[in-house]
């Protein structure tokens, strides 16, 4: 299992790496980190009175800008991480595009979002697959049997 700091470090080290595989723990720790930073930014904006009377003032605009810059900086690495997660499931990374396109279709977007969350909860394939070696370091069921 990848720890939280290791997952965030890997996320930024593999910024535009669409090759290889990423484990479940790496993916979900990064999701927690991403939404945590967004929530903290919005929370600071509200706590500092940046959204009084329902409209943002200067503090609110600054926080919206900072959160927006963070989200923009993370779009490509988040897509790369999703591609690597699909690779760990022995699926093509082009499924990310299919899910993003489905996200623009009303009602289908809800179903596709839930489907992607469920899909990313499944464990990756054991042993190496066509996208690279097992990130857990496992030899897989067929290879392990030859060493016994």
Q: In b/e form, how buried is each residue of 100-116, taking b as 16+ CB within 10 angstroms?
A: eebeeeeeeeeebeeeb
Tokens of 27: 């993916």
Total residues belonging to the chain: 148
pTM: 0.86
In tens, the pLDDT along 93-134 reads: 999 999 999 999 999 999 999 999 999 999 999 999 999 999
> Is 136 within 8 Å of 23 (Cβ atoms)?
yes
Q: Which residues of the chain have pLDDT under 70?
A: 138-148
Q: Where are the domains of the chain?
A: 4-146
């Amino acid at each position: 299992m990848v720890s939280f700091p290791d997952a965030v470090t890997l996320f930024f080290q593999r910024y535009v790496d669409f090759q290889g595989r990423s484990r479940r723990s790496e993916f979900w720790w990064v999701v927690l980190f991403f939404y945590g930073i967004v929530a903290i930014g919005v929370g600071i904006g509200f706590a500092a009175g940046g959204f009084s009377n329902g409209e943002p003032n200067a503090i609110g605009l600054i926080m919206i800008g900072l959160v927006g810059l963070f989200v923009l900086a993370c779009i490509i690495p988040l897509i790369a991480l999703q591609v690597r997660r699909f690779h760990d499931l022995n699926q093509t990374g082009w499924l990310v595009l299919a899910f993003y396109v489905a996200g623009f279709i009303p009602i289908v977007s809800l179903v596709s979002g839930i489907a992607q969350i469920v899909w990313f909860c499944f464990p990756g394939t054991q042993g190496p697959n066509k996208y690279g070696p097992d990130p857990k370091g496992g030899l897989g069921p067929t290879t392990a049997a030859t060493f016994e």
